[in-house]
Amino acid sequence: MKYKTTLPVDEKGFYGRFGGAYIPEILYSNVSNLKKAFAEAIDDPAFISEVETLLADYVGRPSPLYKAESLSRHYGAKIYLKREDLNHTGAHKINNAIGSALLARRMGKTRLIAETGAGQHGVATATVAALLGMPCVVYMGATDVERQQPNVQRMRMLGAEVRPVHSGNKTLKDATNEAIRDWCCNPADTFYVIGSTVGPHPYPEMVAYFQSVISREIKAQLLAKEGRENPDYVIACIGGGSNAAGAFYHFIDNPEVKLVAVEAAGLGTDTDMTAASILTGTPGILHGSRTLLLQTDDGQIIEPYSISAGLDYPGVGPLHAFLAESGRSKVLAATDDEALAAAYFLTRNEGIIPALESAHALAGLEKIKFNKDDIVVVNLSGRGDKDMSTYISHLEK
Ligand SMILES: *Cc1c(COP(=O)(O)O)cnc(C)c1O
């Protein structure tokens, strides 16, 4: 299978005015080696075939495209769910972890590091590290270590070392800072597996590419089910933007497909308890790239808030800042309560417990007026096992 790389990105990693590689000098050669190795790898049929084989036999791809009849009746349109929740390890993160770890091995790297928020990316990286026999260190904010215990235990069982991070808000941003610090200290043997379409170029492009299998499959599955490749809407939740990038990728050049990104509003986009960085952020530089950020007038990061640990990030991938600013994507926001209601609605009507992150995408369905023949694909980025304690505590209220 031949991939195409058609993102609107230039040589230096800019999507319009967003992106780039704002990194300390010590990382220059690392980043330029990575850029070269990535470009060569995706041109090499042997590498692509390795990735494809693991995606099929290990992850269980293609993930189903499921026509949700109850949701379709309720919303008055044809609603399909792209079932990334059925992947091995329970979310889309494994798609990128497989591609990145195989690239690391090809580059002769012997150690993997990762940052994680909800723990899904940490679990995916620890999983692939076990598979390939590589040592793995996962940085995780101390707050997240507390609230995501099942995933911490999974990483430890897989043989990874979980290092709690005690700086800042003790969440994803702080874990990312520590991972970057580690990478700076160990540039020769270490490969940094970033969990979203963030970080310095080429990471946003590379992670989007490894996730693009999602939209490639949607095209083929819709053609078989509906006789056309292109839906009217693709809806995805957006933290750093990797599941949305994967779901949008092959539709970016099809303007008739409406791309909808749903951010975490937290308690509301008009409060300071939010993680909606596109809708309420301003341009600035974080983790090596220029993008939209939650920050004060003098550039201090404002701690984000969302009920969902995976969406609790003060920035967004530069691709999404660009797609939103250029009008190619539409950005909505769902509050904690709207996400919880959408999660319960899906569970009670379709028998699927979604991740809290994915529940934000489902909440987006409430905010759009559909025509009855519209074909709508919601990317169900992950399953809800890790969120059971949050769900149960709200059920009992
Ligand atoms: C990590 C995660 C997200 C948010 O990350 P993106 O890079 O924006 O996709 C969304 N859903 C699930 C299930 C996740 O684990």
Mean pLDDT, residues 8-23 taken together: 94
Domain of residue 191, CATH code? 3.40.50.1100
Please give the share of the chain, as a percent, with pLDDT higher than 70. Answer: 98
d(CA 258, CA 189): 42
Both 192 and 310 in one domain: the answer is no
195 Cα nearest atom in ligand 1: 7
Mean pLDDT, residues 372-377 taken together: 98
Residue where the block lists tokens 């209601």: 341
Residue in 35, 82, 93, 173 annotated catalytic: 93
Both 86 and 98 in one domain: the answer is no
Cα 210 to its chain centre, rounded Å, is: 11
Both 49 and 66 in one domain: the answer is no
The three state secondary structure string of 20-82 is CCCCCHHHHHHHHHHHHHHHHHCCCHHHHHHHHHHHHHHHCCCCCEEECHHHHHHHCCEEEEE
Confidence of residue 395 (pLDDT cuts 50, 70, 90): confident
Measured in Å, residue 381 CA sits from the centre of ligand 1 at: 6
pLDDT at 169: 84
Any atom of ligand 1 within 6 Å of the Cβ of 246: no
pLDDT at 5: 54
* Mean pLDDT value across the chain: 95
Give tens-digit pLDDT for 33-85.
999 999 999 999 999 999 999 999 999 999 999 999 999 999 999 999 999 99
**CB environment 296-329: b (16+ within 10 A), e (fewer):** eeeeebbbbbbbbbbbbbbbbbbbbbbbbbeebb
Any atom of ligand 1 within 6 Å of the Cβ of 119: no
Both 86 and 134 in one domain: the answer is no
Confidence of residue 2 (pLDDT cuts 50, 70, 90): very low
90 Cα nearest atom in ligand 1: 13
Give tens-digit pLDDT for 204-228.
999 999 999 999 999 999 999 999 9
User: Whole domain around residue 41: which residue ranges?
Assistant: 28-55+93-207
Is residue 298 predicted with pLDDT exceeding 60?
yes
pTM of the entire predicted model: 0.97
pLDDT at 3: 40
**Boundary (domain end) residue, out of 188, 207, 226:** 207
Both 161 and 282 in one domain: the answer is no
Give tens-digit pLDDT for 105-160.
999 999 999 999 989 999 999 999 999 999 999 999 999 999 888 999 999 999 99
- What value does the CA radius of gyration of the chain take, rounded to a whole number of Å? 19
**Positive/negative CA dihedral, 335, 338, 341, 345:** negative
Confidence of residue 308 (pLDDT cuts 50, 70, 90): very high
Both 104 and 181 in one domain: the answer is yes
Identify whether the C-beta of residue 235 lies closer than 8 Å to the C-beta of residue 309: no
Mean pLDDT, residues 150-176 taken together: 95
pLDDT at 6: 67
Residue 148 lies in a domain: yes
Give the CA distances from residue 274 to residues 50, 57, 145, 261, 268, in Å, rounded to whole numbers and listed in that order: 40, 39, 21, 16, 6
Both 32 and 86 in one domain: the answer is no
